[in-house]
Amino acid sequence: MNKAVTVFFSSAGRRVGLVECFRKAARELNFDIEIIAGDLEPRLSAACHVADIRYQLPPVAHPGFVPELLALSVRHRIDLLIPTIDPELIPLSIAASEFAKIGCRVHVSPPETIAIVRDKLKTMSVLARAGAEVPATVAVEEYDSALFRFPVFLKPRSGSAGKGVALIEDPRAMPSHFDEPMIVQEYLPGAEYTVNAFSDCGGSLRSAITHRRLRVRAGEVEKGLTERHLLHAQIARRITAALPDLKGAFCFQLKEDLSGIPKIIEINARFGGGYPLADRAGAPLAKWLLQEAMGETPTFHDNWRPGVLMLRYDDAIFVESDDEYVPHDRL
């Protein structure tokens, strides 16, 4: 009899590619998989429509968000819960031990690690102390135009998906008021890369897969090409040395300066939006995570293929009747 595994994707949104990577991994492992997806508006979520069961969830900031996921984990005997957006990471990290008590692994690193990677200023500071190359970065309150060569990047301190990022061409264009904590960061003009990586339960880096970000749309790679860079793998090892509790799949972005030196500009302690490219290139992080969650020995390797090109395009899911889902206020 095949093993049965139940996986829940929270804030599933458009992550159809990620869901399909897990279905493929389960087939390769001879697991019978049930996929459940939740979203604030499941009827408008493509990933919810490719799942077996879908639920409406309250907003991440709502006090009932984590209790509802706990209740669903009990109801469906969920083995693995996968957050897909950054705001979920801190509340789910704090509650991870509660999920573990009911046999559900949350794919999230410990709160101390999440607190660092969710704060771009802290991230740069921690990595710089560990000897990693990072761009010059300061809190906007400490910004001094004399210390930066323009243009510079203005970014939300805890932002993601490129939201709120602005390129400031001239010191006089720097805003005087901000609605959230911001940082000023050195502008790096060179090539941009994402590295998808996997760190096992013991904190050992198992694989690091680079793709060049050829085109980006709404903060996610639209066209990407896998490439092998020895230096990028070394940078991945520096990150896991600086953040030894970083667990499971994660990704980070690199951008080259004028001299061609790659510098770390961001870490996401979750599956990145471009992960399906790494999976296609032969780095099955989803399979390794399923193996860990189900108590099997993961088949780690670093034998992925360079030269795999991803060209994303718009597709559609058509819904001609109201699909059934359970609103959060009826649980």
Which CATH code for domain 3-108?
Answer: 3.40.50.20
**Mean pLDDT (whole number) for 66-74:** 98
Query: 206 φ, ψ to 5°?
Result: -110, -30
Contact 7, 265 (CB under 8 A): no
Q: How far is CA 40 from CA 243, 311, 328, in A?
A: 32, 29, 9
What per-residue confidence (pLDDT) applies to 162?
A: 62
Q: Is the pLDDT at 50 greater than 70, yes or no? A: yes
Q: What is the pLDDT of residues 219-253, one digit of tens each?
A: 789 999 999 999 999 999 999 999 999 999 999 99
Query: 96 φ, ψ to 5°?
Result: -55, -35
Question: In which band, very low, low, confident or very high, does the pLDDT at 165 lie, cut at 50, 70 and 90?
Answer: confident
Q: Is the pLDDT at 161 greater than 70, yes or no? A: no
d(CA 74, CA 104): 9
- What ranges in the chain are assigned the alpha helix state H? 16-29, 46-50, 65-76, 89-94, 96-101, 111-117, 120-129, 230-242, 275-280, 285-293
CA dihedral for 159, 126, 129, 179, sign (positive or negative): positive
Q: What is the pLDDT of residues 2-48, one digit of tens each?
A: 899 999 999 999 999 999 999 999 999 999 999 999 999 999 999 99
Instruction: Name, in order, each residue with C-beta under 8 angstroms of 119's C-beta and a sequence gap of 6 or more.
Output: 157, 158
- Determine the residue type at 240: T
Q: What is the pLDDT of residues 3-13, one digit of tens each?
A: 999 999 999 99
> What pTM value is reported for the model?
0.92
3-class DSSP state of 277? helix
Q: Is the pLDDT at 214 greater than 50, yes or no? A: yes
- Beta-bridge partners for 32: 4
Weakest mean pLDDT among 9-18, 102-111, 113-122, 214-223 = 214-223
d(CA 90, CA 81): 14
Q: Is the pLDDT at 188 greater than 60, yes or no? A: yes
Per-domain residue ranges of the chain:
3-108, 136-186
Q: Average pLDDT of the chain?
A: 93
